[in-house]
Amino acid sequence: LSEILLRLPPDPSSLPRASLVANRWLGLVSDPGFSRRFRPHHHRNPPLLGFFESSHFEPTMDSPNRVPEGRFSYEHTGNGCFIPFGCRHGLQLIFHQSGKQLHVRDPFNGDKRRLPVPPGFDGWETPISGAVFRAAGDIQHFQVVLVGTERNNQHHTRVIARVYSSETGIWGNLMSTPLPPKASSSMDQHPTKIRMWFTISVLVGHSLYWLLTNISAATNMLDGILEFDLERQTLAVIPVPVDIANNCLSQFQVMQAEGGGLGIFFLSKFSAQLWKMETDSDGVASWVLGRTVELDKPLSLNPEEEESLIIGGFAEYNNVVFLRTPTNFFMVQLESLQFKKVSKSNSLTRYDPFESVYVAGTGIDGGHDGAEFFRNT
């Protein structure tokens, strides 16, 4: 029976429903040993519970799996600027810029770990970005990858990175890779930087990816894709397809391509192009255009919205891209092409999807009483 319950879908309502069948079932799903197995068993297919809009949590699932609005919301303590770096594996990473700290937050119970930012990653002269993750099957420890650019005579000449482990409590050695000539030779007043506010990392296979952009007064042009290989602990800068390179950052999203591997979602007014990195028989990697998806009719956009449609976020495990206009906000599942209108849009906001196994009323992840969960939904 325990093995059967372990294989129930990881939706928030699955185990609360099972726990109401009999006391024996309730005892099984409430057992700490079962809890330690259930979440890792579904670590590759967590549901998209909702998203964070700054510090407010907005649920996206339908009843009976809809988490109460604001369930994972929080308030910042302290003064200064707090910059979200995204969520992964049930954790949230936030950069407290004035305090020079990284906050690793558990939205389920509100616990927060504060990490001092290591030297060379001040977030002011050299903007930074980061990512939090857990190793497969590990629900006790986490790691943080911090990336930034290093300056030399006003030019950003290389990308640097360090990794923090909660198991050891220390930052690892500094790693680096040169920026490509196109990026490092940018105009002095507009050097290449990692876009710390609008670019959130994406995990594809065993690598983390960020978009590199040249910030200028006129536009934010894409310079490349930064890759951090978690297994080899190496950095690399990957060029984007030449056909779409000279476009604004808000039109691009790194993603997992169809069939696996690195992909790009490129938004071009009424349509979206899905690109994939492929390797030929000689081991040479290149970009190949896959599908082109028409967006204007399924989303029922008016002419003004079609001109202002941009990318607002991406859920890596569910392969869902968030698209927004000044007045509306949509979720698009890229495999099935199912569209869902979520809410009105704040056109200045980047949404941070929260994908995780959450079970109310069983003791897993600090869930509340099961009866209360069903009343609220």
Distance between CA atoms of residues 359 and 377, nearest Å: 14
Range of the domain at 267: 43-180+193-355
In a domain, 222, yes or no: yes
Per-residue model confidence (pLDDT) at position 344:
65
In a domain, 8, yes or no: no
In a domain, 66, yes or no: yes
Supply the pTM of this predicted model.
0.87
Instruction: List the CATH number of the domain containing 161.
Output: 2.120.10
Arithmetic mean of pLDDT, 234-241: 92
What does the pLDDT look like over 19-71, one tens digit per residue?
Answer: 999 999 999 998 988 988 998 899 889 999 999 988 889 999 999 999 988 88
* Confidence bin at 377 (pLDDT 50/70/90): very low
Distance between CA atoms of residues 285 and 278, nearest Å: 5
In a domain, 104, yes or no: yes
3-state secondary structure of 362: coil
Per-residue model confidence (pLDDT) at position 376:
45
Q: How many domains does the chain have?
A: 1
In a domain, 371, yes or no: no
Per-residue model confidence (pLDDT) at position 198:
41
3-state secondary structure of 195: coil
In a domain, 278, yes or no: yes
Which residues have a Cβ under 8 Å from the Cβ of 140 and sit 6 or more positions away?
Answer: none
Lowest-pLDDT choice from 92-96, 250-254, 297-301, 345-349: 345-349
Q: Is 129 exposed, middle or buried (0-12, 13-18, 19+ CB in 10 A)?
A: buried
Q: Tell me, what amino acid is at 115?
A: L
Quick one: CA torsion of 86, 87, 93, 97, rounded to 10 degrees?
20
Lowest-pLDDT choice from 1-5, 171-175, 333-337: 333-337
Pull the structure tokens for residue 255.
């993603």
In a domain, 37, yes or no: no
What does the pLDDT look like over 101-119, one tens digit per residue?
Answer: 999 999 998 899 999 999 8
Distance between CA atoms of residues 261 and 195, nearest Å: 23
DSSP assignment, residue 21? Answer: T
Lowest-pLDDT choice from 48-62, 130-144, 194-208, 227-241: 194-208
Per-residue model confidence (pLDDT) at position 349:
66
Distance between CA atoms of residues 10 and 8, nearest Å: 6
Lowest-pLDDT choice from 151-155, 161-165, 215-219: 215-219
Which residues have a Cβ under 8 Å from the Cβ of 345 and sit 6 or more positions away?
Answer: 312, 324, 325, 326, 327, 328, 329
In a domain, 156, yes or no: yes
At 12, give phi and psi (nearest 5°): -55, -25
What does the pLDDT look like over 313-326, one tens digit per residue?
Answer: 999 999 999 988 87
